[in-house]
Amino acid sequence: MKELLRKDDESMREHRQFGLVDSKGRATAFTGKDCMDWAGHIVGDGYACQGNILTGEQVVENMAESYEKTEGDIVDRLFAALNAGQAAGGDKRGMQSAAIYVARDGGCYGGNLDRWIDVRVDEHSSPIKELERIFRIYDMTLLNREDPSRLHKLEGDLALKVQRALAKLGFIEDVNAEIFPNDALEKWMGVYNFENKMRDDGTIWQSVLEYMFKEANLDS
């Protein structure tokens, strides 16, 4: 932080605001005295929270508290912080955009980039709610954060129901109680962008089932 400020133009330094967190979770932040009110920051274990032109200090306080208390991975905690900040008043000018970006080593689809999650909404009257809606689709298809307890064995009545869905969707012609059409299931999953949730152990994710049965107009 000191190095960034040292190299900055003196005429602009006090207009800056930024937060930094290193690989060990140590955090720091800076809010220049010329940032527009209300402006400020809070740092904690593994995070930095800051904002300007906010309705008040309660915005960052609520965001930090929600981030610390929310269970789940960093995605769940970031969404909780966004909602808590908005509930406390958010930006003085109202709502306009929201975004969530998370990097992970080889995290993107195909593994050739570190961009694990990159979703944003611009020029929207309810950007956080819209961001959550879009993220649910992104999460269901391209990510794999689902709890292992939501895995189901493809056998018995469930296997037959999946075949009925595949038949209604045009991926197989007939239901076969003896042989499960794995190739057809994989083809369907590829068409609907579920490649990251393909399994080779005879199980299927609950989210995949729900989407398939909805598309086939079958009760889940």
Kindly state whether residues 138 and 174 are assigned to the same domain. Answer: no
Q: Please check whether residue 95 is in contact with residue 126, taking contact to mean a CB–CB distance below 8 angstroms.
A: yes
- Is 15 inside a domain boundary? yes
Q: What is the pLDDT along the chain (220 residues), one digit of tens a residue?
A: 999 999 999 999 999 999 999 999 999 999 999 999 999 999 999 999 999 999 999 999 999 999 999 999 999 999 999 999 999 999 999 999 999 999 999 988 788 999 999 999 999 999 999 999 999 999 988 887 888 999 999 999 999 999 999 999 999 999 999 999 999 999 999 999 998 899 999 999 999 999 999 999 998 6
> Which amino acid, residue 129?
K
Kindly state whether residues 138 and 166 are assigned to the same domain. Answer: no
Kindly state whether residues 75 and 181 are assigned to the same domain. Answer: no
- Is 220 inside a domain boundary? no
Kindly state whether residues 106 and 6 are assigned to the same domain. Answer: yes
User: Can you give the pTM of this predicted structure?
Assistant: 0.84
What are residue 49's DSSP bridge partners? 42
Give residue 109's pLDDT: 79
Give residue 205's pLDDT: 96
Kindly state whether residues 95 and 204 are assigned to the same domain. Answer: no
Give residue 219's pLDDT: 80
Kindly state whether residues 111 and 152 are assigned to the same domain. Answer: no
Give dist(CA 28, CA 41) in Å, integer: 9
Kindly state whether residues 99 and 177 are assigned to the same domain. Answer: no
Kindly state whether residues 136 and 208 are assigned to the same domain. Answer: no
Q: How far apart are the first and last CA of the chain?
A: 52
Domain count, the chain: 2
**Rg, C-alpha atoms of the chain:** 23
Kindly state whether residues 11 and 61 are assigned to the same domain. Answer: yes
Task: Report the SS3 class of residue 47.
Answer: strand
> Which amino acid, residue 125?
S
Kindly state whether residues 59 and 160 are assigned to the same domain. Answer: no
Give the CA distances from residue 46 to residues 72, 75, 161, in Å, rounded to whole numbers and listed in that order.
Answer: 15, 14, 46
Give dist(CA 167, CA 176) in Å, integer: 11
Of 47, 50, 99, the residue nearest 68 (C-alpha)? 47
Kindly state whether residues 137 and 197 are assigned to the same domain. Answer: no
Q: Residue 19: which domain range? A: 2-142
List the CATH number of the domain containing 134: 3.60.20.10
Kindly state whether residues 44 and 108 are assigned to the same domain. Answer: yes
In the block, residue with structure tokens 């908005």: 86
Give residue 141's pLDDT: 87
Query: Domain boundary residue among 142, 160, 192?
Result: 142
Give dist(CA 191, CA 13) in Å, integer: 51
In the block, residue with structure tokens 């930024």: 18
- Is 206 inside a domain boundary? yes
